[in-house]
Amino acid sequence: MSLDLGVLISGRGSNLGAILDAIGDGRLDARVRLVVSNRADAGGLDRAARAGVPTRVLSHRDHADRPSYDAALVAALREAGAHFVALAGFMRLLGPTFLDAFPHRVLNIHPSLLPAFPGVDAQAQALAYGSRVTGCTVHLVDAGTDTGPIVAQAAVPILPGDDHDALAARVLAREHDLLVRALEWFAEGRVEVTPAADPGGRARVVVRGAHTWFGLAGGVD
């Protein structure tokens, strides 16, 4: 099935660019119905406009609380015809008002091998910890911070002499591929989500006929 996507961003929109490129070259059967940013200066808005994709700026500062902001996001996405949501560097937490509107249809990309290093600046966390391997994770969003059921992961080595920017660039390149692959699986109807059996439990994700773990990329000596 073709995905009617809404994409939420806060910054330069490189993962949005990967989605638009994949749609443009026929790898991803989807249409981006709307790109929403909480920041007017997000570079990804220009990237979307160049591709002819509608954009909206909805600042969280214009709303009294998270539920009212989430409701505004939901209204904008529904008005545009989006039925599936990709978070592509969106730096705001989403609550039940939003998640209940798109059950098991909100996908996020995070720059670590979750559950390691959730939250902000996962690359700095990995370097500070002395990890030898990090990577990226695509997961469905739930009420926690980067705690939703995992769809796919890819590993990236931390090389001797790596600084934050070098590591972040290698992880980001991997993110682009992994996010597009995961969206392809949803578009192809390969993903089955089993809701949690008990209140407070975790949903389970099964992807039929696809490898969901990708080994080291970037090279090691």
Which residues form the catalytic set? 110
Rounded to whole angstroms, the Cα distance separating 188 from 72 reads: 30
Residue with tokens 């990708």: 214
Rounded to whole angstroms, the Cα distance separating 88 from 74 reads: 17
Rounded to whole angstroms, the Cα distance separating 6 from 105 reads: 10
What tokens appear for 18 in the block? 């990967």
Question: What single-letter amino acid sits at 211?
Answer: H
Residue with tokens 């769809």: 151
Q: How far is CA 173 from CA 2, 87, 135, 170, in A?
A: 25, 16, 10, 5
Query: How wide is the angle at C-alpha 183 spanned by C-alphas 178 and 185, nearest 5°?
Result: 95
Which residues, 6+ apart, have CB-to-CB distance to 160 below 8 Å? none
What tokens appear for 124 in the block? 């700095």
